[in-house]
């Protein structure tokens, strides 16, 4: 090894031993540091995982959904539109969809009601999401009543409960037949909630959408790409807001680490004085401090990261499910698919390690310039 | 404004480093004003100690710049679905006129901090610190550049409005816009590669000459800048085709993606290392006759020259190997 | 090998509490010579030692050094001397750790680490392989008769043992000059005599000794080639013994 490498190794060795000598200080610093990383990492892992789930689900969503707008509001769409749209070049199929929301006053929860497009259900039967089934204590064959828009209750039989794997979108879902849904919501004949349009060539989606608007100026086509973009923006925005809130924690942490690094104890001060008097240069002490910062940072970073990983993917984020998913009483209790995204890790690294190193640089230098003859004059 | 975690990290890092650099520049002014190497008083001692602080700041800054350079490109890539027509980082950077200037400013900061550390190293080896003025003047040049980088970065993200229609690497040919990367991608592949080979080999010879004799560092500096530029141009116009194996794909950033083994990190890293060491050697040239440096600079220059030579050689070997073994054949 | 020419050191220059610790001392010391600096506390002995030992720089005057241990570190003048007066701190440090070993009044050992590690510590930044340092340190401790205490924490050592560890630490980088500031101030007579014996052995091996002390046991010993008296920062007498 070259002298330069030996110097690095020797100083690193010494840093480790002096960190271990000050275990108490080290532990409290690592604890706070890794908590900050843990919070940041949990937020990022969680929102990122949600976004991935949403994107996986959206992959099965129709390429194009056409809604009719009346007075700027979503209105039922006449079925004749479907015929005209199916004749546009490039359209391979048009499927009317029927859905709506149902407010359950007992639970204060909103359900999504949707009609099946095939014959998988019989009249009077419903399929429900696992969250709803659990909340209401329902199983196959049980009866469940919903209030119609005429004020009369209707009783349905549960014929299926969706498996927990498809939780994110189905937890509050009730599937019925088209006829039952029309009857319950009193939908007028000849209209659908919206139309799902299949396009043969994905590159033509935009052209088809433009053609639809030409034919029916009162319609709003929504492409899957639009939805994806909105989702991405919404999730980024949510995690962004949380991170901004969390950056207050970062700032508090920066001030804390500044304080920690600058308020070196009398014994540490004396020790640096001894090192300098026996032949350590300012640069050597700076190196010692740099190693110290790197060791503390990396340890805390890894601890926080591993903690967050376990929190999100093994325990499904118990600490802030309600904050993040927040919009529904019935939130999914699903397991997120574990993943490691290097980009997310890199962001976390920049968010947590950079501020620490920046905050400790000036205090480290202050410690490094202690006069070497301090030791001769009986310590600090 | 898009509140994406990567954006927040970049803004935080950029503002933090620029703030610290401005602080360092403030110290630089104190040093330029009060520096008196013949004095042994406490004021001079304090200034000497402050140069150690500034060195640490720049060293950390260089590390941060390299890390955020990569993060910036990855963030641009992660944001691309928000912009119609964008398929990767190129599209995002094209959304508004601040994308590429930010990237270039980051690159320039990286190279200049590298050169600064080389000057610093030479100066620290000499007991009379004859380069102190020079390197603190360089520092005063670096501070506005870093400030520009921060401002451009903030403006870029502030003006990033989702849904803007942009042009990306796939459409650079048909789009009539003359953006930096479209010009690079539009270069005729074979001549560009040829120019690169000539430049790189000339630079290699020059660096070996400097290594053997300790002379010719200025030529080496010019050569390494030329190799850096033609190396990137040839990578985009020619060599990347052999990595992507798609005849029209000329993206400078997709090489950083895992699909291609993140080979871009190595390739760009080698070019940056080469240009820093080559330029560093050249920047030392005019100081090599200063008293106190005559025995310090030549060995340092020779080490830098051989480092530049090794970096460029590895780069040259890697891209040539890829072009030779790739199943893709350009017409 | 050491030359001081009209050296002064003023603290807090220009301020109300300005204090001139050393006022115009001129001194020359040859290699292998041993010098004892006498004087009451506060006379400027420590300041003088710290300037000779390159711990800080004089306010005015010149300090010149020469010797094999520092050859090649800094440019020398025609006579082979290094002018350290206004050298940057990093060079002072480099010279200090090659040329000088220090024994302090309070032993200044680092608590919480072993005797061996305390001895090794000054060699770390020099860039010697750790194994080598460890070997040298163990040898030094053994030669000073405390080899069996290597792995003990310094706070568990007796005063005499601590003193020896401190001497071993001063010698780890093989200095040509040993500087000791009031080395016997905290020792009883027996231990003080032991110190003087070690010092005599070092002298025999060719080490230059500079010892500041107002302990008669030190300045009346036959160790000193030369004894000087410093009072209020001024060299009062130079009396050569023998």
Q: Is the pLDDT of residue A292 over 70?
A: yes
A312 domain-assigned = yes
Q: Is the pLDDT of residue B185 over 80?
A: no
- C84: three-class secondary structure by DSSP: coil
Nearest to A46 by CA among A322, A253, A252: A322
The pLDDT tens digits of the residues spanning C43-57 come to 888 899 999 999 888
- B197: three-class secondary structure by DSSP: helix
The pLDDT tens digits of the residues spanning A138-167 come to 888 888 888 888 888 888 999 888 766 555
The pLDDT tens digits of the residues spanning C90-133 come to 888 989 988 999 998 888 899 889 999 999 999 999 989 999 99
For residues A199 and A237, membership in a common domain is answered with no
For residues A164 and A26, membership in a common domain is answered with no
Report CA A270 to chain centroid distance, whole Å. 48
Residue-wise DSSP of B101-156: HHHHHHHHHHHHHHHHHHHHHHHHHSTT-TTHHHHHHHHHHHHHHHHHHHHHHHHH
How many other C-beta atoms are found inside a 10 Å radius of the C-beta of residue B200?
25
Against chain C, the chains showing at least 3 CB pairs within 8 Å are A, B
Q: Rounded distance, CA C241 to CA C33, Å?
A: 13
User: Which residue range is the domain that position A142 belongs to?
Assistant: 71-222
Among candidate residues A166, A190, A222, the one where a domain is terminated: A222
Burial of C182-200, coded b for 16+ CB within 10 Å and e otherwise, reads bbbeebeeebbebbbebbe
Task: Find the angle CA(A66)-CA(A165)-CA(A47) to the nearest 5 degrees.
Answer: 70
pLDDT grade for B151, boundaries at 50, 70 and 90: very high
Model's pTM, two decimal places? 0.81
Q: Which residues of chain A does B67 touch, with a Cβ-Cβ cutoff of 8 Å?
A: 346, 349-350
Q: Which residues of chain A does C168 touch, with a Cβ-Cβ cutoff of 8 Å?
A: none
Residues of chain B with pLDDT > 90, as a percent, come to 37
Rg of chain C taking only CA atoms, in angstroms:
18
pLDDT of residue A327: 43
Nearest to B17 by CA among A21, A69, A355, A318: A355
Per the listing, tokens 């990347």 go with B240
The pLDDT tens digits of the residues spanning B98-148 come to 888 999 999 999 999 999 999 999 988 888 888 888 999 999 999 999 999
Task: Find the angle CA(A17)-CA(C164)-CA(C119) to the nearest 5 degrees.
Answer: 25
For residues A216 and A239, membership in a common domain is answered with no
- B291: three-class secondary structure by DSSP: coil
- The fold for domain B170-331 equals 1.20.120
For residues A172 and A274, membership in a common domain is answered with no
For residues A44 and A105, membership in a common domain is answered with no
Q: Is the pLDDT of residue A335 over 70?
A: no
For residues A257 and A342, membership in a common domain is answered with yes
The pLDDT tens digits of the residues spanning C172-188 come to 999 999 999 988 888 88
Residues of chain A with pLDDT > 70, as a percent, come to 84
Q: Rounded distance, CA B177 to CA B20, Å?
A: 38
B275–chain A nearest CA distance, Å: 24
Average pLDDT taken over every residue of chain C:
88
pLDDT of residue A224: 79
Nearest to A197 by CA among A207, A208, A188, A211: A208
Please give the residue that has the higher pLDDT: either B17 or A252. B17
Please give the residue that has the higher pLDDT: either A258 or C217. C217
Q: Is the pLDDT of residue B175 over 50?
A: no
For residues A294 and A366, membership in a common domain is answered with yes
For residues A310 and A249, membership in a common domain is answered with yes
Residue-wise DSSP of A71-120: TTEEE-EEHHHHHHHHTSTTEEEEEEE-EEEEEETTTTEEEEEEE-SSSS
A107–chain B nearest CA distance, Å: 35
Please give the residue that has the higher pLDDT: either A321 or B319. B319
Q: Is the pLDDT of residue A331 over 70?
A: no
The pLDDT tens digits of the residues spanning B301-315 come to 989 999 999 999 999
pLDDT of residue A285: 93
For residues A191 and A95, membership in a common domain is answered with yes
pLDDT of residue C74: 80
Residue contact C126–A3, C-beta within 8 A: yes
A65 domain-assigned = no
The pLDDT tens digits of the residues spanning C19-74 come to 888 998 999 999 989 999 998 888 888 899 999 999 888 988 999 998 887 777 78
Among candidate residues A157, A189, A222, the one where a domain is terminated: A222
Q: Is the pLDDT of residue B164 over 70?
A: no
Q: State the total domains in chain A.
A: 2
For residues A80 and A196, membership in a common domain is answered with yes
Residue contact C89–B129, C-beta within 8 A: no
Does C222 lie at the interface with B, CB-CB under 8 angstroms? Answer: no
For residues A95 and A33, membership in a common domain is answered with no
Closest to A358 (Cβ–Cβ): which among B9, B20, B70?
A: B20
pLDDT grade for C148, boundaries at 50, 70 and 90: very high
Q: Which residues of chain C does A9 touch, with a Cβ-Cβ cutoff of 8 Å?
A: 130
Residues 34-93 of C with CB under 8 A from B: 56-60, 74-75, 85-91
A227 domain-assigned = no
For residues A39 and A80, membership in a common domain is answered with no
* Bridge pairing between strands C234-240 and C226-231: antiparallel
Residues of chain C with pLDDT > 70, as a percent, come to 98
Residue contact B12–A282, C-beta within 8 A: no
Q: Six-digit token pair at A134?
A: 């659990």
**Contacts of residue A227, Cβ cutoff 8 Å, sequence gap at least 6:** A58, A61
pLDDT grade for A1, boundaries at 50, 70 and 90: low
Beta bridge partners of A125: A157
Q: What is the mean pLDDT of residues B13-20?
A: 91
pLDDT of residue B162: 66
Q: What is the DSSP letter of C128?
A: -
Q: Which residues of chain B does C62 touch, with a Cβ-Cβ cutoff of 8 Å?
A: none
Residue of B nearest to A243 (CA): B5
Burial class (CB in 10 A: 0-12, 13-18, 19+), B185: buried
Q: Where are the domains of chain B?
A: 1-167, 170-331
Report CA A113 to chain centroid distance, whole Å. 26
Say what the alpha-carbon torsion angle B12, B13, B16, B17 is, to the nearest 10 degrees: -160
The pLDDT tens digits of the residues spanning B211-270 come to 888 888 888 899 999 999 999 988 888 888 888 877 777 788 888 888 888 888 899 999
Q: Rounded distance, CA B88 to CA A29, Å?
A: 40
Q: Which of A36-45, B83-92, C67-76 has the highest mean pLDDT?
A: A36-45
Q: Rounded distance, CA B194 to CA B323, Å?
A: 13
Residue of A nearest to B17 (CA): A358
* ipTM value for the complex: 0.90
Residue contact C86–B39, C-beta within 8 A: yes
Please give the residue that has the higher pLDDT: either B95 or B174. B95
Beta bridge partners of A198: A93
A176 domain-assigned = yes
Specify the CATH number for the domain of residue A201.
Answer: 2.40.40.20
Average pLDDT taken over every residue of chain A:
81
Q: Is the pLDDT of residue B171 over 60?
A: no
Per the listing, tokens 């400030």 go with B147
A273–chain B nearest CA distance, Å: 15
Residue contact A21–C113, C-beta within 8 A: yes
């Amino acid at each position: 090894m070259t002298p330069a490498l030996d110097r690095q190794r020797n100083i690193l060795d010494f840093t480790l031993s002096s960190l271990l000598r000050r275990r108490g200080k080290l532990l409290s610093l690592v604890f706070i540091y890794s908590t900050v990383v843990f919070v940041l990492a949990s937020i990022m892992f969680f929102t990122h995982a949600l976004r991935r789930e949403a994107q996986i689900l959206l992959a099965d969503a129709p390429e194009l959904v056409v809604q009719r707008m009346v007075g700027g509001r979503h209105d039922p769409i006449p079925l004749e539109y479907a015929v005209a749209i199916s004749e546009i070049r490039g359209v391979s199929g048009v499927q009317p969809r029927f859905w709506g929301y149902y407010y359950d006053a007992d639970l204060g929860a909103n359900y999504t009601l949707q009609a099946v497009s095939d014959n998988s259900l019989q009249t009077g039967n419903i399929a429900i999401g696992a969250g709803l089934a659990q909340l209401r204590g329902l199983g196959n064959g049980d009866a469940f009543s919903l209030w119609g828009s005429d004020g009369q209750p209707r009783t349905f039989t549960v014929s299926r409960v969706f498996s927990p794997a498809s939780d994110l979108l189905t937890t509050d879902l009730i599937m019925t037949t088209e006829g039952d849904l029309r009857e319950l919501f009193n939908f007028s004949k000849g209209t659908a909630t919206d139309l799902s349009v299949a396009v043969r060539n994905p590159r033509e989606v935009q052209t088809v959408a433009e053609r639809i608007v030409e034919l029916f100026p009162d319609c709003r086509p929504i492409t899957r790409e639009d939805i994806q973009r909105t989702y991405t923006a919404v999730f980024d925005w949510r995690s962004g807001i949380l991170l901004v809130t969390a950056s207050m924690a970062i700032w508090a942490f920066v001030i804390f680490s500044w304080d920690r690094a600058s308020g070196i104890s009398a014994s540490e001060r004396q020790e640096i004085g001894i090192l300098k008097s026996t032949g350590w240069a300012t640069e050597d002490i700076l190196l010692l401090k740099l190693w110290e910062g790197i060791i503390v940072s990396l340890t805390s970073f890894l601890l926080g990261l591993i903690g967050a990983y376990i929190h999100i993917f093994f325990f499904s984020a118990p600490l802030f499910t309600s904050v993040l998913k927040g919009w529904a009483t019935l939130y999914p209790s699903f397991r997120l698919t574990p993943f490691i995204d290097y980009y997310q890790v890199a962001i976390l690294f920049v968010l947590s390690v950079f501020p620490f190193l920046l905050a400790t640089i000036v205090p480290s230098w202050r410690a490094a310039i202690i006069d070497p003859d301090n030791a001769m004059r009986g310590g600090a | 404004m898009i509140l994406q975690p990567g954006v927040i990290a970049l803004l935080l890092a950029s503002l933090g480093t620029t703030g610290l650099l401005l602080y360092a520049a403030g110290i630089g002014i104190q040093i330029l004003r009060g520096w008196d190497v013949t004095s042994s008083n406490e004021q001079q001692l304090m200034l000497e100690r402050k140069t150690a602080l500034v060195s640490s700041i720049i060293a950390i800054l260089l590390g941060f710049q390299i890390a955020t350079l990569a993060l910036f490109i990855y963030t641009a890539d992660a944001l691309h679905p928000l912009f119609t027509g964008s398929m990767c980082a190129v599209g995002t950077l094209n959304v508004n006129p601040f994308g590429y200037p930010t990237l270039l400013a980051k690159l320039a900061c990286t190279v200049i901090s590298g050169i600064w550390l080389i000057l610093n190293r030479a100066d620290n080896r000499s007991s009379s610190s004859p380069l102190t003025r020079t390197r603190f003047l360089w520092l005063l040049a670096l501070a506005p550049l870093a400030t520009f980088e921060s401002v451009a970065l903030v403006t870029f993200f502030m003006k990033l409005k989702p849904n803007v229609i942009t042009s990306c690497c796939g459409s650079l040919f048909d789009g009539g816009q003359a953006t930096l990367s479209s010009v690079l991608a539009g270069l005729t592949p074979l001549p560009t590669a040829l120019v690169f080979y000539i430049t790189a080999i000339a630079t290699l010879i020059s660096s070996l000459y400097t290594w053997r004799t300790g002379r010719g560092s200025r030529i080496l500096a010019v050569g390494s800048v030329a190799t850096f530029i033609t190396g990137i141009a040839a990578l985009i116009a020619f060599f990347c085709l052999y990595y992507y194996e798609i005849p029209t794909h000329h993206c400078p950033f997709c090489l950083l993606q895992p699909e291609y083994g993140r080979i871009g990190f190595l390739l760009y890293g080698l070019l940056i290392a080469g240009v820093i060491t080559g330029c560093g050697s050249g920047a030392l040239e005019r100081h090599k006759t200063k008293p106190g440096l005559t025995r310090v600079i030549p060995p340092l220059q020779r080490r830098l020259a051989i480092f530049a030579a090794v970096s460029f050689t590895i780069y040259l070997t890697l891209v040539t190997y890829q072009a030779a073994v790739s199943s893709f054949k350009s017409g | 090998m050491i030359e001081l020419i009209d050296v002064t050191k003023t603290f807090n220059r220009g301020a109300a509490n300005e204090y001139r610790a050393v006022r115009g001392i001129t001194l020359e010391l040859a290699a292998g010579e041993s010098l004892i600096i006498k004087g009451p506390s506060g006379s400027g002995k420590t300041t003088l030692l710290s300037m000779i030992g390159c711990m800080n720089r004089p306010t005015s005057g010149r300090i010149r050094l020469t010797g094999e241990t520092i050859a090649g570190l800094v440019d020398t003048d025609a006579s082979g001397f290094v002018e350290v007066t206004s050298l940057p701190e990093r060079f002072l440090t480099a010279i200090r750790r090659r040329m000088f070993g220090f024994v302090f009044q309070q032993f200044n050992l680092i608590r919480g680490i072993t005797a061996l590690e305390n001895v090794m510590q000054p060699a770390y930044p020099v860039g010697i392989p750790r194994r080598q340092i460890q070997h040298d340190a163990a040898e030094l401790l053994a030669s000073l008769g405390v080899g069996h205490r290597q792995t003990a924490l310094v706070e568990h050592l007796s005063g005499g043992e601590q003193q020896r560890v401190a001497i071993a630490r001063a010698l780890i980088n093989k200095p040509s000059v040993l500087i000791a500031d009031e080395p016997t101030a905290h020792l009883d007579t027996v231990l003080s005599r032991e110190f003087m014996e070690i010092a005599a052995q070092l002298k025999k091996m060719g080490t230059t000794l500079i010892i500041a002390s107002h302990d008669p046991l030190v300045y009346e010993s036959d160790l000193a080639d030369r004894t000087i008296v410093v009072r209020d920062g001024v060299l009062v007498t130079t009396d050569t013994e023998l």
